[in-house]
Structure 1
Amino acid sequence: MLPSQALSPAELRQRIRSGDHRGNTSGFAQGFVQCNLAILPAEWAADFLRFCQLNPRPCPLVGMSTSPGDVALPPLGDIDIRTDVPSYRVFREGELVDEVHDIRELWRDDLVTFALGCSFSFEEALLADGLEVRNVTQGVNVPMYRTNIPCQAAGAFAGNMVVSMRPFRAADAIRAVQICTRFPAVHGAPVHLGDPAEIGIADLSRPDYGDAVTLEEGELPVFWACGVTPQVALEKARPPFAITHSPGCMLVTDLRNSRLAVM
């Protein structure tokens, strides 16, 4: 049997669907776009779409279902959105109430799916340029933090941005900015470098999501807008029902990262 890292996106989704892979997806199906997930009742979908349009850095829209109740996302692959993500979070009235590996029993005919770009895609470009990505080196989920950076509101959807962090020395941080600027569909350039307190982060060793990574002497923490931001917006908006991915557990698509690059 192939190791998970060597599987194609379709093979990895089949392994996820069968329950054989339930962890995070960083470093898997290299070369292919991974997506954050938000699923909402149709009556909330227009405002959430507008929230994404107003906040493209944390919420870059890659795809969405063509009609309420549709479990497929044809442009992104042979996908059943109810089974093809390793772990889902279930929200009711804005409160996280459960974390599950399959949402078939929760599925409703009025649900609309949004697939949002993920930083795992630009990590590949950083690695290809010879830069170390610390969470990949250490084999952990990327650290993610709530900030004081406000998003633009759309209807009931509002809140502050969540960011992911990767440490680099100054010269490598500059190179990372140059590389990631070419990938606006997967968060683009960093939103902040340096002092985390300036964006409301008190302690890098205690991320709100994911795992802490080592920050070596002489390195700068570099922060990117993160697709967990919609989960904060859901907490503010308090829709009666919503589903997201669990942080780090992404929808792996058949769309190649190279198609998202701006040359």
Structure 2
Amino acid sequence: MTVFAAVQRSTEQASLPSQEARRAFRSGAAATTAGVANGFVQGNLAILPEKLAGDFHRFCQLNPKPCPIIGMSDVGNPRIPALGLDLDIRTDVPRYRVWHDGEVTDEPTDIMKYWRDDLVAFVLGCSYSFEEALLDEGLPIRHVEQNLRVPMYRTNIACSPSGPFAGPMVVSMRPLKPADAIRAVQITSRYPAVHGAPVHLGHPHSIGIKDIAKPDYGDAVPVADDEIPVFWACGVTPQAVIASAKLPFAITHAPGLMLVTDLKNRNMAVI
């Protein structure tokens, strides 16, 4: 049985799938979280020293499409009760990335040995949350169908800077037929807390993507002749910014392996 299947099986048997998913990841399971704990909000993670937290908070306010904050820890506290009473930010992500001077130096399944009393954790909305609404409307999601991570790309769309935080927006891509793409715009515009409507449709080169078959993060998925690539702002943007700023120290999630919270996707919608 694959790790993904084991996690999915455990969530199906649980009264609260999000808690079971976190327990599985806490035990060392590492797999894409696309399709895991359906109905529950997933989040991108950025952990920074307190001295940088103010600038990063401002960066998120200036760039709400890629960086919508859904949770934030107190300084030195690895728990965010509003996202899950048992949630521990140090252990409950399937895989982390540890950054030194803008480079990934480790990708552990927990960050206990890296945790410090001066760290602040930010959890940002994730496009996996609006995928439930797309699937409910019968729209296909290729990376879910193929059990892959969503493809993500650095673009030439510049984020508004704040302190040391500056750099390109990262986008996630889902191929859709034109009529489905129009419907996807309508559906996802109701979810501003998890990136909202797409930022671009078609013509990848127009936003600086040279080869759609070579994502910067995640896995490549095929785009059929009768489909167009649809791009949403992505919560991996802070990772591109951390690399550009060459920050001395930071921790993030590994792209596509998210924090599963106890928030409900349906509560993210704006009527």
TM-score, scaled relative to structure 2: 0.94
Task: Indicate if the aligned counterparts of 1:70 and 1:112 stay in contact, CA closer than 8 A.
Answer: yes
Distance in 2 (alpha carbons) for counterparts of 1:4 and 1:95: 35
**Which 5+ residue runs of structure 1 have no aligned equivalent?**
none
Identity %: 62
Distance in 1 (alpha carbons) for counterparts of 2:160 and 2:228: 28
Tell me the equivalent position of 2:251: 243
Tell me the equivalent position of 2:208: 200
- 1:145 pairs with 2:174: no
Task: Indicate if the aligned counterparts of 2:174 and 2:229 stay in contact, CA closer than 8 A.
Answer: yes
Quote the offset at 1:237 in angstroms.
Answer: 2.3
Q: After superposition, what is the alpha-carbon deviation per residue over 1:71-96, rounded to whole angstroms, capped at 9, x for unaligned?
A: 10000002111000000000011111
Quote the offset at 1:195 in angstroms.
Answer: 0.4
Quote the offset at 1:235 in angstroms.
Answer: 1.4
The answer to which of 10-19 and 176-185 deviates more is 10-19
Residue type of the partner of 2:82?
Answer: P
- 1:74 pairs with 2:75: no
Quote the offset at 1:4 in angstroms.
Answer: 4.1
Distance in 1 (alpha carbons) for counterparts of 2:152 and 2:10: 24
SS in 1 for 2:41: strand
Question: Aligned to 1:9, which of 5, 18, 22?
Answer: 18
SS in 2 for 1:235: helix
Task: Indicate if the aligned counterparts of 2:151 and 2:215 stay in contact, CA closer than 8 A.
Answer: yes
Q: After superposition, what is the alpha-carbon deviation per residue over 1:131-171, rounded to whole angstroms, capped at 9, x for unaligned?
A: 00111111111100110001000011000101000011111
TM-score, scaled relative to structure 1: 0.97
- 1:262 pairs with 2:265: no
Distance in 2 (alpha carbons) for counterparts of 1:249 and 1:91: 16
Distance in 2 (alpha carbons) for counterparts of 1:211 and 1:92: 25
Q: CA RMSD, aligned part only?
A: 1.1
Distance in 1 (alpha carbons) for counterparts of 2:249 and 2:209: 29
Structure 1 residue ranges (4+ consecutive) displaced by more than 6 angstroms after TM superposition: none
Task: Indicate if the aligned counterparts of 2:11 and 2:18 stay in contact, CA closer than 8 A.
Answer: no
- 1:85 pairs with 2:72: no
Residue type of the partner of 1:149?
Answer: I
Quote the offset at 1:239 in angstroms.
Answer: 2.4
